[in-house]
Structure 1
């Protein structure tokens, strides 16, 4: 365990020391989507926020604070498990942190997607940030998927306080049922946040299937790419996929850009945003 932590911090330290050169390298590429992703990273790194952004974040973080005090018991019976957990513990252990939610917010705001997909709603904290990012984009919509009905209900109650129901769609049910149904629909996403399953095969499966359900350009965000050996293998495969133009390894998250107008393929970058 100690050795793993040392390797992690050494890797991050190397990336941080090399960050200026990496940003200079990225700046030579004129791909608009790539540059907007980097703008989102830089905005969060430098806390270059407008007052409207700070207010949006505070609204979302107030919700997080409420969740951290919520002792409602959540059942995992739908997954064939007798496990239960309190909302406050799920929030503490599984919800996206403030910094990464801010990054998702700016990624959405700067790229102006029309249809966003999230696999893994959880308690809806990241979803709140997404809804805030598209609140001034009349045509933009957010689709999010979650297996636990109680979490869907909690998230839905919060989303209803932030946006009209036409802006979001919570898909409840096991992914084995809801994901195939999604693929049958006439929908095409341009920003996709994959955070529902931290295993190699499902991660690759989602990516390959969703490549036929995207606009161009499109951005995939994969969470916890260094979560396990399996996820590291998945990330390595994703970076080398023949349809991929650019990837950015942020250590915790991996960004994949697909752009049919771009001739460059499998160009890889490493940046550091946070732990």
Structure 2
């Protein structure tokens, strides 16, 4: 998205968003107060941030496989680890929020659609060592570095699923009974985002939590977010601009919240 369009989207978000006093749902009120706005620290924060700082200085060159759209799909190009760490990993503010969400809901089965170097993956995995945790990365070289990082942090319960997400996601979904938590960061186009969302929806339940990344990264992502909000199985959503939370709680009315974060 062009910078001025992104700035306009953010201004619109700020004008629409509100803080705790404007939330009337007890479930969302508690989530916003105790989880989203939590400003304390956890043991995992310095551990994973130390890993981030290490990767930001890593000059190794990787042959990166592109699984994006178009004629260049499948091509390889060279990138340094430090450049991937700088551009692909979620900023600490949002990675820590993902930690707190997993820590709060304690999901038994977690899908992370978009491993990259494993920084954000590590935050979520640190919050739930007892989970069945599957993280998906298309590029073999990047997946290899992610495995190193997960091993360094002792996160042995995380299984890195390597390969094109178009093929690996459905195969792995068939291996689980239900999906408790999913983070969608594997593709930022409308069609694959909706396809991955609907595939995971088949294994969701009333207490599942889905998190979508980069809601306003492009017109296609904005379109996907608006369509997801209107899906009949989606009952509550929270728009935090850079990420969106999706809930399926039948005990709560269908509502959409835009909260300041």
TM-score, normalised via structure 1 length: 0.85
For residues 125-153 of structure 1, give each alpha carbon's deviation from its aligned partner in whole angstroms, at most 9, with x where no partner exists: 01111121114xxx323210000111111
Contact 2:65-2:138 at 8 Å conserved across structures: no
- Greater than 6 Å deviation, 4+ residue runs: none
Asked whether 1:175 is paired with 2:168, we answer no
- Unaligned stretches of 5+ in structure 2? 68-73
For 2:32 and 2:102, the matched residues in 1 are separated by 9
Contact 1:34-1:257 at 8 Å conserved across structures: no
Q: Which secondary structure state, in structure 2, belongs to the residue aligned with residue 254 of structure 1?
A: strand
For 1:94 and 1:118, the matched residues in 2 are separated by 14
Match of 1:236 in 2: 226
Q: Note the C-alpha offset of 1:108.
A: 0.7
Match of 1:56 in 2: 44
Contact 2:125-2:155 at 8 Å conserved across structures: no
Match of 1:193 in 2: 183
Higher share of residues assigned helix: 1
For residues 168-199 of structure 1, give each alpha carbon's deviation from its aligned partner in whole angstroms, at most 9, with x where no partner exists: 11101111221121132233121110000000
RMSD value, Cα: 2.0
Map 1:124-273 onto structure 2 (within 5 A): 124-135=118-129, 139-163=130-154, 165=156, 167-259=157-249, 261-262=250-251, 264-265=253-254, 267-273=255-261
Q: 1:147 to 1:34 in 2, by over 3 A?
A: farther
Q: 1:228 to 1:38 in 2, by over 3 A?
A: farther
For 2:215 and 2:12, the matched residues in 1 are separated by 14
**What is the number of residues matched between the two proteins?**
254
